[in-house]
Chains A and B, each alone.
Chain A
Amino acid sequence: MLQAIETSGQPLAMGEATPIRIRNLTLSFGTTKVLKGIDLDIGAGEFFAFLGPSGSGKSTLLRAIAGFGPRPSGEILLGERNVIGLQPWKRDVGMVFQSYALWPHMTVRQNVAYGLEERRRPAEEIRRRVREALELVGLDAYADRYPSQLSGGQQQRVALARTVVIEPKVLLLDEPLSNLDANLRVQMRQDLLALQRRLGITTIFVTHDQEEANTICDRIAVLSDGVVQQVGEPDHVYDQPANSFVARFLGTANILDGRVIVRDGACRFVLDERSAIPLQGSHGEGEASFVLRPRGLEFADDGGGELAGTIAGSEFLGDTIRYFVEVGGRSLLVDEVHRRGGDRRAAGTEVALRVVPGQGVVLTR
């Protein structure tokens, strides 16, 4: 097993952490608008994620912060300084590339020393800091190897060391885990978190994998179509999606279209003439969507469910069984906990469904 990133020890002093503020950032490739007025505030020392599907603009936004790609309009403030128009080599922004971008003609040591050499640091200081950076990622024994002689995980660590050794103001990670195999990915994301906490550096992590973003980031920004859809802590964004895109992109969701009706102070979400779901709290009347995770529905075998349907099929997911239930022409997903020896409900069975109180979210349209 690889030696893990050095996670113990005191926080390393890297100077004051830098907050990032992005104001009305717009960017086009030719005539195609890729970023459409982005506003974001990322706190000093925060571990922040850009989460979105491919083509959402998340990588373009990250590259714009680093100074790559077409020149955007708007503001990117690193601390107090607007860096728009500043050359990449003058920004003091550290980026770890998806491909790692290690130079194959240089050894690990030479790769890591590069940024310090460009900053004309004294040889003695370079030697010391390179050693420290490699110790930090647990690769001090590999300093004289070439990148091609390292495994994918080790290359990733070298790329990290090469970036943090220059003590950048902010650390940008472009899908850093996508080229690793599944087990290593789980290990590495904890290592990344530990490293970020130890360095205390403002970090942005770009990913399309919600699990990665949820597990390690303080806050996430969900991007789609060049627009920030929602910003918040992972569990908040998951539980209170701002719109149906966010609801679908973070996890699986049933999204039902209908109307909110208020009668005698009680709110109800009406699907059609036969089905209505009581809502908690107060809502305005009108057209709305109702977002419900598969766990938010349960089978009302004892009677009294709000919805009636027929089992259309099921998938065995291990700890749960996911049922596809036909309800008035819609297909709803319902997860039921699986226990050893439990029977599966057969397709064609008539069932009643109950909405677990408090589990649904109403999105007004």
Chain B
Amino acid sequence: MAALSTALPRASFGQRISWGPLTAALGILLFLVAFLILPVAMVIYVAFTDPGSGELTLANFMDFFRSALFREAFYNSFYVAAMSVVLATVFALPLAYITSRFNFRGAVLIQTLGFVPLIMPPFIGAVAMQLLFGANGSVNLLLRDWFGITIPFMEGLNGVILVQSIHYFPFILINLSASLRNIDRSMEESAQMLGSHGMRLFRRIVLPLAMPGYIAGASLVFVKVFDDLGTPLLLNVNTMLAPQAYLRISSVGISDPMGYVISVILIVCSIFAMWVSISAMRGKDYSTTQKGGGGLSKRDLGALETAGCYLVVLALLAIVLAPHIGLLLLSLGTVWSFSVLPDGFTTEHYVVAVNKAWPFIKNTLIYAGIAALIDVLLGTAIAYLAARTTLIGRKWLDYIAMAALAVPGVVLGIGYLRLFYSVDMPFTGAPLATWWGIIVIALATRRLPYALRSCSAALQQVSPSLEEASENLGAPKVRTVRRIVLPLMAAGLVAGFVTSFATAAVELSATIMLVARESDAPLAYGLYLFMQSAAGRGPGAALGVITVVIVGLATYFAQHLVEKARREQSASAGSH
């Protein structure tokens, strides 16, 4: 036995403390504590503290609910979020149903165009939506001419609901379609054989089986709308929670407790909605597809039915793509006011946009680029530590990083301001909170969950036996990771990078809190500034179109890369 352990000194390697992973884990933990846990904890602490005496108190919350304005904001936020879920469902349900039940050529159209809204930040489209659906917008002008009526699509909360549901309905579409696809045909056939068919079969079998996916999508939409700052701000709807928090902090100051109280309410609601989503999915993995079984049986459509389906799909897509169409018109139009279409067309706005907005674009490329790089590095490290090491508490790194999803951008921004305003930069002596680097860190923290999921998924596709084979042939851990694991994960890492980059490039809610001077501002903030003035709208729209195209292309290539890698891996797995 003794001879054996001298002969094989590496046999005991597993029992030794491995310092590499431990150091990495501590480093990541430090980052998460400093830039996620502490700022949020600070916000919660301030919300429960008396601003004068510094004692713990519930008085701030009492003040909040005593104020009619805040009660209204609270109600409005709930109303808007709930109605957005309803409207998003109206958009998503027919599209999901048609693609999953019928042999319908337009399905490809839905799958491509249906996801386009996600690649544009909702606040960019908000202005274009005003011009199309506002009181004097194209649609109402036509309605007035033809029928003598107008519909207040964009009045007050209606506008927020419309813009948000158009933007976020793909979350429901994606989840619901996936659920429907995962129902095995035999689920349906066994019900038919027992005498059930048509709507009854749909209601009793198909719908309940698809429900968890729907609830997951719907609660995500709820959270996103509830927390969003940019859209209500641009539509000038301020009696909602997130705008109130922003206005309080930016006008009254960072010592006013109301901004913190609102933040706590936002966090609690986010966590609640996420809990709903998780418990909807827990124990209900209804994914029932068998090998080769395939999803629900699809039916061919008659000519009339096909026409009907196309009508529904095209009408929905027209509504859903309205912000893009409006934005494009706005960016190419000379003057667009009180008319159905712009008076004339020009490319001038694009020239202005590129000339005036170049600093914004440059800042965005730098900020989002660095943030995405940080995310991929942290994401890979966290995924690897959680899946492949035996460190105690390794899963917690993953949980903490994912918790960033439940922290609204406004809240993180407020937390950073409060925590880092009193910390001075080395050399310059300016507050850390006003440094541009803090924007990068805020972006990295907010988008870490996206990159982390990409990296985890990529790592899961690399079987541990591939690593063991490398180690067995004499490659130490670090070389194995570099030569085997990373190359196999590459596509997933690039996808993670692009997702982080694309979403960070259009982030507004934390950014708007942290931008200290215009020269440090990124594109989203620049767009926000442009859209504030009538003269800036054309160039602003042009800038918006450029952003959408860049983000869209990036997303497309990321998807393409992941699909390709998945196909290659499943092909090589299948050839065994």
Q: Which A positions have Cβ atoms within 8 angstroms of B?
A: 66-68, 87-89, 91, 93-95, 97-99, 101, 103-105, 114-115, 118-119, 148, 162-163, 166
The answer to whether A166 and B184 have CB atoms under 8 Å apart is no
The answer to whether B193 and A88 have CB atoms under 8 Å apart is yes
Cβ-neighbour of A99 out of B184, B191, B194, B209 (below 8 A): B184
Residues from chain A with Cβ under 8 Å of B190 in the complex: 95, 97, 101, 103, 162
The answer to whether B286 and A166 have CB atoms under 8 Å apart is no
Complex CA–CA separation, A66 to B190 (angstroms): 10
Q: Does B288 contact A (CB under 8 A)?
A: yes
Complex CA–CA separation, A114 to B203 (angstroms): 13
* Most interface-central of B187, B193, B196, B211 (chain A CB within 10 A): B193
The answer to whether A94 and B193 have CB atoms under 8 Å apart is yes
30 interchain pairs, CB-CB under 8 A = A66-B189, A67-B192, A68-B192, A87-B192, A87-B197, A88-B193, A89-B192, A89-B197, A95-B190, A95-B193, A97-B186, A97-B190, A98-B186, A99-B184, A99-B293, A101-B186, A101-B189, A101-B190, A101-B288, A103-B191, A104-B286, A104-B288, A105-B209, A114-B194, A115-B194, A115-B195, A118-B195, A162-B190, A163-B193, A163-B194
* Most interface-central of A66, A104, A115, A148 (chain B CB within 10 A): A104
Complex CA–CA separation, A294 to B197 (angstroms): 53
The answer to whether B208 and A105 have CB atoms under 8 Å apart is yes
Residues from chain A with Cβ under 8 Å of B186 in the complex: 97-99, 101
Complex CA–CA separation, A66 to B187 (angstroms): 14
Complex CA–CA separation, A80 to B196 (angstroms): 24
* List of 8 A-B pairs having minimum Cβ-Cβ separation, nearest first: A115-B194, A101-B186, A118-B195, A88-B192, A101-B190, A97-B186, A105-B208, A99-B290
In the complex, which residue of chain A has the Cβ closest to the Cβ of B200? A118
Q: Does B205 contact A (CB under 8 A)?
A: yes
Q: Does B284 contact A (CB under 8 A)?
A: yes
In the complex, which residue of chain B has the Cβ closest to the Cβ of A112? B194
Residues from chain B with Cβ under 8 Å of A119 in the complex: 195
Cβ-neighbour of B196 out of A104, A114, A148, A163 (below 8 A): A114
**A8, chain B: closest CB distance, angstroms:** 28
Residues from chain B with Cβ under 8 Å of A114 in the complex: 191, 194, 196, 204
Residues from chain B with Cβ under 8 Å of A104 in the complex: 209, 284, 286, 288
Cβ-neighbour of A68 out of B187, B189, B195 (below 8 A): B189
Complex CA–CA separation, A114 to B208 (angstroms): 14
In the complex, which residue of chain B has the Cβ closest to the Cβ of A174? B186
Known contacts A99-B293, A105-B286, A115-B194; A88/B189 CB under 8 A: yes
Complex CA–CA separation, A103 to B208 (angstroms): 10
Complex CA–CA separation, A101 to B185 (angstroms): 9
The answer to whether A66 and B193 have CB atoms under 8 Å apart is yes
**A119, chain B: closest CB distance, angstroms:** 6
- Beyond the given A91-B193, A101-B184, A103-B191, please list 16 additional residue pairs across the A-B interface where CB-CB is below 8 A: A88-B193, A89-B197, A95-B193, A99-B186, A101-B288, A103-B187, A103-B190, A103-B209, A104-B209, A105-B209, A105-B284, A114-B194, A115-B194, A118-B194, A119-B195, A166-B194
Complex CA–CA separation, A97 to B189 (angstroms): 9
What sequence of 0s and 1s flags, for each residue 75-96 of chain B, a beta carbon within 8 Å of any chain A beta carbon?
Answer: 0000000000000000000000
Cβ-neighbour of A101 out of B187, B284, B286 (below 8 A): B187
Complex CA–CA separation, A91 to B200 (angstroms): 18
**A179, chain B: closest CB distance, angstroms:** 10
The answer to whether A89 and B195 have CB atoms under 8 Å apart is yes
Residues from chain A with Cβ under 8 Å of B193 in the complex: 66-67, 88-89, 91, 93-95, 163
* Most interface-central of B184, B195, B197 (chain A CB within 10 A): B195
Complex CA–CA separation, A350 to B509 (angstroms): 89
Residues from chain B with Cβ under 8 Å of A91 in the complex: 193
Complex CA–CA separation, A162 to B205 (angstroms): 15
Complex CA–CA separation, A175 to B195 (angstroms): 22
Complex CA–CA separation, A119 to B209 (angstroms): 22
Complex CA–CA separation, A87 to B193 (angstroms): 9
Complex CA–CA separation, A118 to B193 (angstroms): 10
Residues from chain A with Cβ under 8 Å of B187 in the complex: 101, 103
